Amino acid sequence: MQAVAAEPAFPPLAAFRIDGDAIHAPLAAIAADVQRGRDIVASRDGNCLLCHAIPETGARFMGDIALPLSGVGARLSAAQLRLRVVDQARLNPDTVMPSYYKVDGLHRVAPAFRGRPILSAAQIEDVVAFLQTLK
């Protein structure tokens, strides 16, 4: 009988505190990277373009069921953006936007993805850094 190696567990989520409509402290200690954030937003990792129009990405096809994100960096602080990416449902329980940094209380999650957030803490910070450039 051959032993089956256990899958490595995903690291625990970084602790964060919600203050009103924001998470003020970064989730990761490493410096955020705007280009990595742009790549995540424009890729299947984030899938942001399925719902949002973000002409700054240069993408040819973009969604129109959610608010356009052009100018979002002028309207919202990094702390406000961080909460919206982490878990928009905290602000709008009826949202269809996924919680990108949440593992509990989710429904219909494929077994391979249970216990894992969509984006890591560092990726959240990269996305926030990119969104902040959209002035």
Chain segment 7-40, per-residue pLDDT in tens? 556 788 999 999 999 999 999 999 999 999 999 9
Q: 77 and 69 in contact (C-beta within 8 Å)?
A: no
Tell me the average pLDDT across 125-129. Answer: 98
What gap in Å lies between CA 76 and CA 30, rounded to an integer? 22
Q: Are 12 and 121 in contact, with CB atoms under 8 Å apart? A: no
Domain ranges of the chain: 34-132
Q: Is the pLDDT confidence value at 86 over 90?
A: yes
pLDDT at 1: 52
Q: What is the mean pLDDT of the chain?
A: 91
Q: Does domain 34-132 have CATH number 1.10.760.10?
A: yes
